[in-house]
């Protein structure tokens, strides 16, 4: 047991207490942020005359060595230490002697861990943004290639009106684009540096908080030292953003699972992204999509868990806050692997255009257009709705599509029908006439796709 705080104690900590209290087994993933934060702190201490230049340089050299040794695997972060902060400090003292004992001047583990966590989450917010941008590029390609790929649009999982694959995928483009803008908001709000807040009330040393904030690429220092050490809002906001990303991925996964089923056959998953059955040789299962859908639960769980942890904590730091790590780390790992795999799966998936179009035709998705045809010829909409409905009923009884009815059969319901009805209710016309902004008609769709391209080219990755 290596502890930083033995002075006041006359007894060894009970081993079970020590283990329960320790965080090294999970906070060791913050080693880089911890070392970088310490380096900035030491540079600032020297600039303010609190450490000498020689002391600064010795400490910086020691910290650089520790970082290199951890990264190369020469130095292992073991459970011998209470947390990552003790690990780095103890190692520094071991390497450079007494000078190392000056590192923690004007600092507490409370502002230290608040800084480490903020820097770690900030980098993950950026990486999540990049992964979303990669997914959006894939969706954009599919949209560009499928402006005229007709498919049924659904409500209640019942075929409703014809749309295109570009239009359907475009809905997901919007969702993931909003996810990126949520991450940007979080980044903007969280990018302030808590270092220098001390344990809770700042310090008596003349620290330059602006300087450390600048060295660590923050917009500036945080404004209240008690809030600085006890604020984890950015973790909660990030978990909420991750939960929303998973909700979007899960809905998309659900559709892919349905589209990939034997009954639909709208898509075929690439062999590299599907799995077989140990007993049924014919199976090709959409396991990746199912796992993404399933893993959504644990990300929501991390959000709920941590919101609950935070709700009863009085100011300022309390040990409860150590619970800001495991669930969050798991959520981050989960979302990153889901995004990567999902993007690969969608990128390699084949769409069966013919099956999609046939499905749109067989599901009476043009029944509204039959009614609209009548309305355009002076029939009141309510009557037109009834006529179209009766034609659908007849088609169901005779097992055919509306397009298959003879003109005779159309006219049996209304003498208004002429030969141009077939053109008017073809998939192509049905879609093409839908030209309101955001609708699937080709001209409207091309505008959106061009806008997406501009957005992707002009929006800098975080």
- Both tokens of 160, joined, read 């409703």
Q: DSSP letters along 315-332, please?
A: SS--GGGGGGSHHHHHHH
- Quote the CA–CA distance of 82 and 1 in Å, as a whole number: 7
- Both tokens of 142, joined, read 């599919």
Restricted to residues 322-341, the positions that interact with ligand ARG (CB under 6 A) are 322
List CB contacts of 172: < 8 A, sequence separation 6 or more: 139, 248, 252
We find the least distance from the C-beta atom of residue 80 to ligand ARG, in angstroms, to be 15
Q: DSSP letters along 414-442, please?
A: -TT--TTHHHHTSHHHHHHT--STTSSSH
Q: Which residue's beta carbon is nearest to the bound ligand ARG? A: 322
Specify the residue, 83 or 369, whose C-beta has the smaller distance to ligand ARG. 83
- Quote the CA–CA distance of 92 and 62 in Å, as a whole number: 6
Specify the residue, 117 or 421, whose C-beta has the smaller distance to ligand ARG. 117
* Sequence-ordered strand ranges (E) for 311-353: 350-351
Q: Quick one: angle between helices 31-47 and 53-72, nearest 10?
A: 170
C-alpha neighbours within 13 Å on the C-beta side of residue 295: 24
Restricted to residues 288-317, the positions that interact with ligand ARG (CB under 6 A) are 317
Binding of ligand ARG by 372 (CB under 6 A): no
Task: Give the distance from CA 394 to its chain's centroid.
Answer: 48
We find the least distance from the C-beta atom of residue 317 to ligand ARG, in angstroms, to be 5
Size of the site for ligand ARG (CB under 6 A): 10
Binding of ligand ARG by 321 (CB under 6 A): yes
Specify the residue, 27 or 124, whose C-beta has the smaller distance to ligand ARG. 27
Specify the residue, 85 or 182, whose C-beta has the smaller distance to ligand ARG. 85
- Both tokens of 164, joined, read 């295109």
Question: Closest Cα to residue 115, out of 204, 25, 229?
Answer: 229
List CB contacts of 261: < 8 A, sequence separation 6 or more: none
We find the least distance from the C-beta atom of residue 15 to ligand ARG, in angstroms, to be 18
Residue 263, number of CB atoms within 10 A of its CB: 7
We find the least distance from the C-beta atom of residue 270 to ligand ARG, in angstroms, to be 42
Specify the residue, 107 or 295, whose C-beta has the smaller distance to ligand ARG. 107
The residues annotated as belonging to the active site are 156, 277
We find the least distance from the C-beta atom of residue 67 to ligand ARG, in angstroms, to be 20
We find the least distance from the C-beta atom of residue 243 to ligand ARG, in angstroms, to be 23
> Contact at 8 Å (CB) between 66 and 34?
no
C-alpha neighbours within 13 Å on the C-beta side of residue 80: 8
For residue 430, give Cα distances in angstroms to 125, 151, 306, 375, 404.
42, 11, 49, 15, 16
Specify the residue, 173 or 317, whose C-beta has the smaller distance to ligand ARG. 317
Residue 450, number of CB atoms within 10 A of its CB: 11
**Can you tell me which residue has the tokens 């730091």?**
317
Contact letters for ligand ARG, residues 9-48 (x by CB under 6 A)? --------------x---x---------------------
Specify the residue, 23 or 414, whose C-beta has the smaller distance to ligand ARG. 23
Find residue 159's DSSP bridge partners: 154
We find the least distance from the C-beta atom of residue 319 to ligand ARG, in angstroms, to be 6
Find residue 81's DSSP bridge partners: 2
We find the least distance from the C-beta atom of residue 109 to ligand ARG, in angstroms, to be 4
Specify the residue, 311 or 319, whose C-beta has the smaller distance to ligand ARG. 319
From 129-137, 262-270, 319-327, 422-430, give the range in contact with ligand ARG by CB under 6 A: 319-327
Restricted to residues 101-130, the positions that interact with ligand ARG (CB under 6 A) are 109-110, 113
Among 34, 36, 55, 83, which residue interacts with ligand ARG (rule: CB under 6 A)? 83
Interface with ligand ARG (CB under 6 A): 23, 27, 83, 109-110, 113, 317, 319, 321-322
């Amino acid at each position: 047991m290596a502890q930083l705080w033995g002075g006041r104690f006359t007894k060894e900590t009970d081993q079970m207490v020590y283990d329960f209290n320790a965080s090294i087994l999970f906070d060791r993933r913050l080693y880089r942020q911890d070392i970088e934060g310490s380096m900035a702190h030491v540079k600032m201490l020297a600039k303010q005359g609190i450490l000498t230049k020689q002391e600064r340089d010795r400490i910086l050299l020691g910290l650089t060595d520790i970082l290199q040794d951890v990264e190369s695997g020469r130095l292992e972060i073991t459970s011998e230490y209470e947390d990552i902060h003790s690990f780095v400090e103890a190692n520094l003292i071991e390497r450079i002697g007494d000078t190392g004992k000056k590192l923690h001047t004007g600092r507490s583990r409370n502002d230290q861990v608040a800084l480490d966590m903020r820097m770690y989450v900030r980098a993950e917010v950026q990486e999540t943004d990049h992964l979303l941008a990669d997914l959006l590029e894939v969706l954009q390609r599919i949209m560009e290639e499928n402006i005229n790929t007709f498919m049924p649009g659904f409500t209640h999982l019942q075929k409703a009106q014809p749309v295109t694959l570009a239009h359907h995928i475009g809905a997901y483009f919007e969702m993931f684009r909003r996810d990126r803008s949520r991450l940007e908001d979080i980044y903007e709000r969280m990018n302030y540096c808590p270092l220098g807040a001390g344990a809770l009330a700042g310090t008596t040393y003349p620290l330059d908080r602006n300087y450390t904030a600048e060295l660590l690429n923050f917009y500036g220092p945080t404004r209240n030292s008690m809030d600085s050490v006890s604020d984890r809002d950015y973790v909660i906001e990030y978990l909420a953003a991750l939960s929303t990303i998973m909700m979007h991925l899960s809905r998309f996964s659900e559709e892919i699972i349905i589209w990939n089923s034997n009954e639909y056959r709208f898509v075929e998953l690439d062999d590299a992204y599907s799995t077989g059955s140990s007993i049924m040789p014919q199976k090709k299962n959409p396991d990746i999509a199912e796992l993404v859908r399933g893993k959504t639960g644990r990300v929501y769980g991390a959000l709920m868990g941590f919101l609950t942890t935070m709700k009863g904590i009085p100011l300022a730091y309390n040990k409860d806050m150590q619970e800001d790590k495991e669930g969050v780390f798991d959520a981050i790992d989960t979302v990153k692997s889901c995004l990567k795999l999902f993007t690969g799966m969608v990128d390699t998936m084949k769409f069966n255009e013919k099956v999609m179009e046939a499905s749109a035709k067989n599901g009476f998705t043009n029944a509204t257009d039959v009614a609209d045809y009548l309305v355009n010829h002076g029939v009141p909409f309510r009557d037109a709705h009834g006529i179209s409905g009766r034609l659908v009923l007849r088609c169901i009884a005779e097992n055919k599509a509306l397009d298959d009815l003879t003109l005779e059969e159309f006219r049996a319901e209304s003498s208004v029908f002429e030969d141009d009805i077939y053109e008017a209710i073809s998939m192509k016309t049905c879609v093409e006439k839908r030209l309101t902004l955001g609708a699937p008609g080709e001209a409207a769709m091309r505008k959106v796709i061009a806008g997406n391209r501009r957005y992707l080219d002009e929006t800098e990755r975080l």
